[in-house]
Structure 1
Amino acid sequence: MTFSSFDHARDIVYAQDRDRYLAGLFAAEEARGGLWALYAFNAEIARVRDVIRDPLPGEVRLQWWRDFLQGTEHGDAAANPVADALGQTIRTYKLPVKALTDMIDARVFDLYDDGMPTLHDLEGYCGETVSALFQLGALVLNKGEDAGTADVAGHAGVAYGLCGLMRALPWHAARGQMYLPADLLARHGVDTQTVFKGESSPELKAALAELRGHARHHLGRVRQKIAEVPARAAAVFLPLALVEPMLSKMDAKDFDPLRGSAELSQLKRQWILWRAARKSGVSL
């Protein structure tokens, strides 16, 4: 069997986004390739900061993806298997290119050490990156037809995104990058430089407790409407089942947000996703 661009995309998702990979296995087999393409594209633009030393080369990498999506790529896009798989997915499911270019534009923030101004800005960032991925994935699983999941995807992306950024706080702080919004930090009197030094504080823990409250608010909004999601598109939202267990680990009084880990074991994540799939009535 020939190793295809979709196989390459699948391997990237398996290596870099294991939870979405596992959730994708509950999707209809014929639609998984489209999910792998989307998730691999997301992984590629999300890791640009990790593979460059200065923002300019990162801007160039992101611009290549913009050019590709706008049909003005430099060179043969088929030579990039992720781009090839993504292009086929866009055409097959008639995906909105603007949503993908907005994802790229939002990722420019990752390249710099500028602070996130407000909670509203942070929710907007999560919306343009994570929420968009939920919505595009739902389109793929619903065979290119609107599944009526825009509202659910919006809240899902903020809940999942906030949880992910809190999990990544030690890593981001170590490289002098701050996603926690400035208005939230100021409200609780958090010293950013202390965070960058890896020193936790009661003020930081209070700020994060408030942020977990916001994540749970959006998670609650998802729960109110998740039953409206067509069964064939439900697999896209399965990773949300991991959010509350991770938030609960962060709730522990002795949890150090700069040195502790809110990660769940691989076996537990798989069991949570399997149980969520059973409850959601995922249609294969």
Structure 2
Amino acid sequence: MSDPFVECERIVQQDDPDRAVATAFAPADRRPFLNALYAFDLETARVRRIVSQPLPGEIRLQWWRDRLDALEADPLTRGGQGSPVAEALLQTIERCDLPLDAFRNLLEARIFDLYDDPMPSRTDLETYAGETASAVMILAAMVLDREAAPRAADVAGHAGVAVVAVAALRLLASRPLHAQIFFPSDVLEAVGCSRDALQTGDVDATARARTAMIAFARDHLAAARNGFGALPKSLRPAFLMLEPLDRSLRALEGGDASGETRANPLRRLFGYWRSMRR
């Protein structure tokens, strides 16, 4: 395993321990590619948090597009330009024959993260999730078992929406006055809540919106979990995050606004092992 992949493994272990443990259930020769994919996901997801204005964020995302374009134009001259994550990702795309358009669509969707535009509807949130969280799961499935990966499309679709919905709930709890509002406008309207009410901490309105968003996330997570059992075992490491996602959602349902869970490492490992054996 070359140095860029070692760095990706370090990033995933540091920033996403749930996925780091899940990756251990993949075949050893697939783990470096999964870590490269997940490190890329983490790098692009954090762009909003590390820039103060949208333009620098767009420049960072364009840099990634340029790397993809260079790979497509001439694979022999492609390179990560000093970024170990980019180098590992480009090698992963080549060696696993992953579709470049999936990465381009993810980068395009991430532009939404840079602005405070409203999420118009549940359908729009589902589309956003499909191009980000769900896409990463499908790409991971392709890394694991290219032939069987299409069978995971429905599970990935529902799981991705649940991931985004839970992240929206946790983001609101962490910094409500400055958080981007990922709650769909049609959900807010249905419960008589506004974006301003969420950001200023209107207790009653926020409680109604949270309840509706939790139900939305639960519906999608339930659909994903129902489909998980039918997946070939070769694909399951890409979807083991359903276990910690369910823990977070149960914490939110129990009144913990942050949805944070700190599972004992052995308990986490046992939960993943049990999921693999279903």
In the superposition, the TM-score normalised over structure 1's length comes to 0.89
Name the stretch that deviates more: 14-23 or 57-66: 14-23
Q: What amino acid sits opposite 1:275 in the alignment?
A: G
8 Å Cα contact 2:193/2:205 also seen in 1: yes
Cα distance between partner residues in 2 of 1:247 and 1:24: 22
* Cα pair distance change 1:61/1:276, threshold 3 Å: same
8 Å Cα contact 1:185/1:204 also seen in 2: no
Alpha carbon RMSD of aligned pairs, Å? 2.2
Structure 1 position 212, deviation (Å) = 1.6
Residue in 2 that maps onto 1:32: 31
Question: Are residue 274 (structure 1) and residue 266 (structure 2) matched?
Answer: no
* Cα pair distance change 1:181/1:54, threshold 3 Å: same
Question: Are residue 177 (structure 1) and residue 180 (structure 2) matched?
Answer: yes
Structure 1 position 193, deviation (Å) = 2.2
Residue in 1 that maps onto 2:209: 207
Structure 1 position 237, deviation (Å) = 0.6
Question: Are residue 113 (structure 1) and residue 110 (structure 2) matched?
Answer: no
Aligned residue among 188, 193, 196 for 2:199:
196
Equivalent residue runs for 1:1-284 within 5 Å: 4-71=3-70, 76-142=79-145, 144-147=146-149, 148-171=151-174, 173-197=176-200, 199-252=201-254, 255=255, 257=257, 261-267=258-264, 271-281=267-277
Name the stretch that deviates more: 47-56 or 67-76: 67-76
Cα distance between partner residues in 2 of 1:93 and 1:173: 40
Cα distance between partner residues in 1 of 2:264 and 2:256: 24
SS in 1 for 2:235: helix
Structure 1 position 84, deviation (Å) = 0.7
8 Å Cα contact 1:103/1:128 also seen in 2: yes
Deviation string for 1:178-224 (max 9, x for gaps)? 11111111221223223223x24222222221222222222222233
Q: What amino acid sits opposite 1:264 in the alignment?
A: T
SS in 1 for 2:229: helix
Deviation string for 1:84-104 (max 9, x for gaps)? 100111111111111111111
SS in 1 for 2:264: helix
Q: What amino acid sits opposite 2:36 in the alignment?
A: A
* Cα pair distance change 1:76/1:149, threshold 3 Å: closer
Aligned pairs, number: 273
Name the stretch that deviates more: 209-218 or 272-281: 272-281
Cα distance between partner residues in 2 of 1:150 and 1:75: 30
Structure 1 position 256, deviation (Å) = 6.2
Cα distance between partner residues in 1 of 2:179 and 2:170: 16
Structure 1 position 245, deviation (Å) = 2.1
Structure 1 position 160, deviation (Å) = 2.1
Name the stretch that deviates more: 41-50 or 210-219: 210-219
Cα distance between partner residues in 2 of 1:229 and 1:200: 43
Structure 1 position 251, deviation (Å) = 1.8
| Structure 1: segments with no counterpart, 5+ residues | none
Deviation string for 1:57-78 (max 9, x for gaps)? 1101101111111227999525
* Cα pair distance change 1:272/1:14, threshold 3 Å: closer
Bigger relative contact order (CA 8 A; separation at least 6)? 1
8 Å Cα contact 1:231/1:280 also seen in 2: yes
Q: What amino acid sits opposite 2:51 in the alignment?
A: I
8 Å Cα contact 2:148/2:232 also seen in 1: no
Structure 1 position 276, deviation (Å) = 3.2
Cα distance between partner residues in 2 of 1:191 and 1:23: 38
